[in-house]
């Protein structure tokens, strides 16, 4: 396991604040053992939660180029046919994955192919499961076209806690599924818009893992 580069600054500041807080706690409250250990335990838990948020587990995807792979860790909260209005302007199957603050927050390409579209949108910070979060929140949109002609749109969506979306895709770039394309800080969601007729291999409420769960296959 390693830690994501987007977290180095936050983890450093958190470690410094933890050290300062521990010193103050020792200086003022060591004479009151119960209170000292309560506060020290809370400081340790807070530091742990921040550090674990930026963890990147070592994973190797077992899937081939024709598989559609989960781009994120989390829970499937939406599987429905809907109209995608930003790029395709047609009917698509939407699969949405909610990431809690305890999930790994790096995001990965769900398919291999050519990046045809990349756009960042400023926006609100509604809770990630809000129906309008997909269109009103801070978000990024990427479209990749597979060698078989099918294109998939996927969208990072900031949540109520998230205040920065990081994405590294560039138009015209050739990518492989399970390569990293971005990171969202502190609570978020990823929407994937698949062609109608795609065989979906997940269900509502299922917990999925990036690189290791197959969302579906093209038909």
Which residues are annotated as catalytic? 188
For residue 199, give the 3-state DSSP assignment. Answer: strand
User: For residue 167, what is the enclosing H or E element?
Assistant: strand 165-167
Give me the count of residues in the chain: 219
Core vs surface per residue 152-178: b (16+ CB within 10 A) or e? bbbbbbbbbebeebbbebeeebebebb
Radius of gyration of the chain (CA): 20
């Amino acid at each position: 396991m390693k830690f994501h580069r987007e977290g180095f600054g936050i983890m450093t500041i958190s470690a410094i604040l933890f050290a300062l807080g521990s010193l103050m706690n020792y200086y003022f409250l060591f004479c009151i053992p119960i209170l000292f250990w309560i506060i020290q335990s809370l400081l340790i838990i807070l530091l742990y939660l921040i550090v674990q948020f930026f963890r990147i587990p070592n994973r190797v995807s077992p899937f081939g180029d024709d598989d559609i792979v989960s781009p994120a860790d989390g829970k499937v909260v939406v599987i429905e046919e809907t109209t995608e209005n930003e790029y395709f302007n047609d009917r698509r199957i939407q699969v949405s994955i909610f990431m809690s603050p305890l999930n790994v927050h790096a995001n990965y390409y769900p398919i291999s192919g050519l990046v045809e579209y990349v756009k960042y949108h400023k926006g609100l910070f509604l809770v990630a499961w809000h129906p309008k979060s997909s269109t009103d929140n801070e978000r990024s949109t990427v479209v990749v076209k597979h060698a078989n002609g099918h294109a998939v749109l996927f969208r990072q969506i900031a949540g109520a806690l998230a205040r920065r979306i990081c994405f590294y895709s560039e138009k015209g770039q050739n990518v492989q599924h399970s390569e990293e394309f971005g990171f969202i800080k502190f609570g978020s969601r990823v929407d994937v818009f698949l062609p109608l007729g795609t065989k979906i291999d997940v269900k509502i409420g299922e917990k999925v893992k990036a690189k290791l769960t197959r969302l579906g296959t093209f038909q």
